[in-house]
Amino acid sequence: MGQLLEHLVLDVDPPFLGEEHRLLRKSVREFAERFVAPRAREIDVRNEYPRDILGLLAGQGILGMRVPVEYGGSGLDSVSVAVVMEELARASGSVALIAAIQGGMAVAPILLAGSEEQKRRYLPRLVGGEQVGAFALTEPCCGSDAAGLEMRAERAGDGYVLNGRKTYITQGLQADVVVTFARTGGREDRHRGITAFIVENDGCIEATPLETMGFRGTGTAELRYENCHVSPGNRLGGEGEGFRIAMYTLDDGRIGAAAVALGLARAALEEAYQWSLGRTAFGRPIHQFQAVRFQIVDMAVKLQTMKTLTYTAARLRDTGDPRYVWMASAAKLHTAIAANEIAATAVRILGGLGYVKESVSERVYRDAKLLEIGEGTNEIQRWIMGKMLYGELSI
């Protein structure tokens, strides 16, 4: 894959990235180029979950990046997490998404609202890759309108019984543990009636695979819960606190999503740049044509703005600045749009090669589309940011 951008001094890290972050980038890049990149096309074409890579990620501490050391994690800061996610996505968007769910979305609710017993019981096994985790919020009825979800959690004896459906759940096919959001109040209660649960899949969850356009091999599924019994000890937080837990997890996850977009876009740009050096037309390399060169320049500028927004959001979170919520949405929105634009341009520059499975840009082109949908659509990001801008939502 090469280090094209660094060699040309076209890729500038924010000044607050320290030596430890640069060493981390080097280490993860070497790991990704050795173990992940060679498998990227296979994972995409076969659409098979790479369970062996989950173990490799665990061995590198990548599944426990945000988890404290006492629970088996690495305890990294947000900037470090962004570095790792960028480098993984540069090699494979699918593997990056697996790491984001297993080491982020599935563990963040437990870190935020879990009891000490819940943390010690579940975090080490998720961090070690012994169990596969998932985050189940979206339903067939409700995506962006998460407060309208319909899944019920009814009191039964000393626990709860869950019935309903969740959809578009990454790792749903493999999940042993599913952080699930269900309604304990009435529909009229909206967000105040939602509670979070840690559901162990003992056979009460039926998973149906979903054939996705991009991010293939990630076990995306629709889940049907049929009389799933959950003990009181597996409720996360109190009744009615589920929506807050979900929103906190999504706020944090948007920084990771932006870093994934950054890594995908970087891979597409590097391929297009390399192609422009070696491909000739009308007797000269195509980079000598202004039409191609200007497109490469525009892609590089977009990549740099993506990096600045992403790492600024991560830095704000690390310093405890509440404005990170705004910046996380800004980063998620901009990087999703820019990654799609960069991928589309790369496909055009590669021509026929960009339209076949052998090219990285073809895969990135399909992967990037999800970034405008998952973890809050572009429109939801604008809605959140608009409410903050007009003082209708405090941070």
- Residue 73 in tokens: 């994690």
Evaluate the CA torsion angle 10, 61, 117, 100 in order and state its sign: positive
The C-alpha R_g of the chain, in whole angstroms, comes to 21
Q: What is the spatial distance between Cα 359 and Cα 350, in angstroms, rounded to a whole number?
A: 9
Residue 261: left if φ>0, alpha if ψ -120 to 50, beta else—which one? Answer: alpha
Strand segments (E) across 63-137: 133-136
CB 106 within 8 A of CB 126: yes
Q: Which long-range contacts (CB under 8 A, 24 or more apart) does 244-247 make?
A: 245/109, 245/112, 245/113, 245/181, 245/196, 246/109, 246/137, 246/146, 246/181, 246/194, 246/196
CB–CB of 197/236 below 8 Å? yes
Contacts of 89 (CB under 8 A, 6+ apart): 96, 259, 260, 261, 262, 263, 264, 267
Q: Which of 239, 375, 379, 392 is catalytic?
A: 375
375 counts as catalytic: yes
Report the sign of the C-alpha dihedral through residues 371, 377, 379, 385, in that order. negative
Active site residues: 375
